[in-house]
Chain A
Amino acid sequence: GAGVSQSPSNKVTEKGKDVELRCDPISGHTALYWYRQSLGQGLEFLIYFQGNSAPDKSGLPSDRFSAERTGGSVSTLTIQRTQQEDSAVYLCASSRSTGQVARWWYYGYTFGSGTRLTVV
């Protein structure tokens, strides 16, 4: 697509429920990133995909968080048993590539508009 698409744009869920957040990157972008943006906290790295593999998942805050990517395209971030501290804006970004090699260092990231998650 023309840009990075995230859905839903807003999600309100009850504490303890599971949620799935979706990211559809720009076609041909092999690298995909998830970040979390909390009020006053800047952007916190969660996980990075190159193709369908996740070489760096060091930012996932707990085992309640998981992510997958299929077909080198769409990615889903799943949060199980949501807690109030999970409330944040979840941002997805993708990076332009040359073949299978991401060129993030040259092109930077293209971000989606985010999913605002509120846990009540």
Chain B
Amino acid sequence: AQSVTQLGSHVSVSEGALVLLRCNYSSSVPPYLFWYVQYPNQGLQLLLKYTTGATLVKGINGFEAEFKKSETSFHLTKPSAHMSDAAEYFCAVGVSNFGNEKLTFGTGTRLTIIP
């Protein structure tokens, strides 16, 4: 079974600073990896995904993530934080395996932006 660990339930960064949200996964087969963002009182919105091919993936709102198989990581970054980035971020892993067609989510990281 696959699993995902998000290091840091709360992360605070200053406006304009680098954002780094950490995600490590566990999977016995090649994974599909996702980052979702949840703004207050809203559902989850897909930020970016890794399926196959290029290991550096770009998403919406200037976010990107790099799949590193050797480190079993899929960390989310953004060069310069904006106040509107304040939200909760979830990393998720899935495998295409009949009978196991679901995403497993991490516990989330709440990002606070300091003015």
Residues of A within 8 A of B (CB): 4, 31, 33, 35, 40-43, 45, 48, 50, 55-56, 91, 93, 102, 104-106, 108-114
Contact = CB atoms under 8 A, between A and B. Distances in A.
Contacts of B103: 33, 45, 104, 108-109
Contact of A105 (B41, B94, B104): B94
Interface of B: 9, 32, 34, 36, 41-46, 49, 51, 90, 94, 96, 99-108
Contacts of B100: 56
Interface of A is mostly: strand
Contacts of A114: 43
Given A42-B108, A105-B94, A108-B34, A113 B42 contact: yes
A115 to B, nearest CB: 11
Contacts of A31: 101
Nearest to B32: A105
